[in-house]
Amino acid sequence: MRVDAAPRALGLPVAGGGHAGLGTTGAHLPAPVRERLTQAAVAGFRDTIWLLVAVTALGVGAALLLCDRAPTTAVSPLTAE
């Protein structure tokens, strides 16, 4: 996880097991560490948004390629003989 990599790169201990959260533990971190953690979180969020855009584009492309072409003149079952 990128957020965990920032404190490890600075030699700080990282709490294991899920999300440690920065609500109470982030207050005592030095400013450069908080800045790197913030940058890692923003980069992760931006990567998530780009992944969402890519998956959406693939879905739209697949839907356009796989859509069933409707006939230009619809035949009603009541009028067909």
pLDDT in tens, 13-62: 776 654 545 444 566 788 888 899 999 999 999 999 999 999 999 999 99
> Can you give the residue range of the structural domain that contains 37?
2-13+30-66
Instruction: With respect to residue 75, please indicate whether it lies within any of the assigned structural domains.
Output: no
Instruction: With respect to residue 76, please indicate whether it lies within any of the assigned structural domains.
Output: no
What is residue 74's predicted lDDT score, i.e. its pLDDT?
A: 61
Q: Exposed, middle or buried: residue 4 (CB in 10 Å: 0-12, 13-18, 19+)?
A: middle
Distances (CA, A) of 13 to 4, 20, 53, 73, 76: 10, 11, 35, 69, 71
Instruction: With respect to residue 74, please indicate whether it lies within any of the assigned structural domains.
Output: no
What is residue 33's predicted lDDT score, i.e. its pLDDT?
A: 87
Instruction: With respect to residue 40, please indicate whether it lies within any of the assigned structural domains.
Output: yes
Instruction: With respect to residue 56, please indicate whether it lies within any of the assigned structural domains.
Output: yes
Report the domain count for the chain: 1
What is residue 8's predicted lDDT score, i.e. its pLDDT?
A: 74
Instruction: With respect to residue 41, please indicate whether it lies within any of the assigned structural domains.
Output: yes
